[in-house]
Amino acid sequence: MSVFLQQLINGLSIGSIYALMAVGYSLVYSILNFSNFAHGGVIMLGAYFGLYALNLLSLPFMGALVVAAFAAGLVAVGLEKIAYSPLRKRNAPSLYFIISAMGASIFLENFVVATIGPTFKTYPEIFSTTPITFGAISVSRIDILMFVIAAISLAILVFIIEKTKVGLAIRACSYSARGSNLMGVNVNRIIFVIFLLGGMLAGVAGMLFGMKYTVYPQIGVITNKSFIAAVFGGLGSLPGAVVGSILLGLIETISAGYIASQYRDLIAFSLLIIVLVVKPSGLMGKITEDKA
């Protein structure tokens, strides 16, 4: 039983980070109808922003987290203005957006390699590495921190989406951007907001992930998992992105704990294929014909 609880805690920790990453995909997809594969580059830069805020600016942890969040948010907004806005103005097909996103992701990764370098970097020791023990179960402080900050960040996002006028406009645009524009909603402003929110969450996720592991230019590849989680839960559905992320984290850790770590991804992706065959829209997504 203790082994199961240990894997459950580990799964919730990594799943919460997947959730922070996945909601960025879902926010963009819900309005612009394409998968923003440049999101991984924003997460990677968030990890670097947090690292240098700690090392060069000597900021405390929370200050560095705020810097990483806002800097990554601005990068995401900049990407939208440079890579996606011209395509939106020409009413380009979704495929063009995806190609542009892939190009932006490759550019960001190689830009960091050329300027900062390809070497691995580690965060300074901010918190004690001594785990907290509950009987036979041990929990690292960074895992607790990851879960708590992810939960708070997602709660703030839910509050914005459900309880504010901006959130109402976001929900309206996700239903019909053209109809919302006719009703007086500034769709361009809403797109700015969703990229800012998604980028800020990416910055938080990047810094937390970098603290737990290491920072390197290819760290954005972890977003393949978060994208899978978003698809698993249902692209365009924020609750689906969170549920899919938590489930993916639990499946990975339980598979590694009870079977073997090398089968972790095989089992997770096999279950994803089964879910999509049975329910193509994902666990909580809606069936659409024009989104890709």
Model confidence pLDDT, tens digit, residues 228-250: 888 878 776 788 888 888 888 88
How far apart are alpha carbons 40 and 223 in whole angstroms? 5
122-133: average pLDDT: 82
Exposed/middle/buried for 107, CB within 10 Å: 0-12, 13-18, 19+? Answer: middle
Proportion of the chain above pLDDT 90, given as a percent: 39
153 inside domain? yes
CATH number, domain of 250, equals 1.10.3470
Residue 252: exposure state from Cβ atoms within 10 A (0-12, 13-18, ≥19): buried
pLDDT exceeds 70 at position 285: no
Q: Tens of pLDDT along 71-87?
A: 999 999 999 999 999 99
Does residue 288 form part of some domain? no
What pLDDT, in 10s, does the model give residues 188-224? 999 999 999 999 999 999 999 999 889 999 888 877 7
- Expressed as residue numbers, the domain containing 142 is 2-125+136-278
Q: Cβ neighbours of residue 215 under 8 Å, at least 6 residues apart?
A: 47, 48, 51, 120, 121, 122, 123
Residue 289: inside a domain, yes or no? no
pTM of the model: 0.88
Q: Do the beta carbons of residue 1 and residue 135 sit within 8 Å?
A: no
Q: Is residue 179 part of a domain?
A: yes
Long-range contacts of 161-166 (CB under 8 A, 24+ apart): 161/238, 166/190, 166/193
What does the pLDDT average to over 50-70? 94
**The total number of structural domains that make up the chain:** 1
Name the residue among 142, 159, 163, 164 with its Cα closest to residue 214: 142
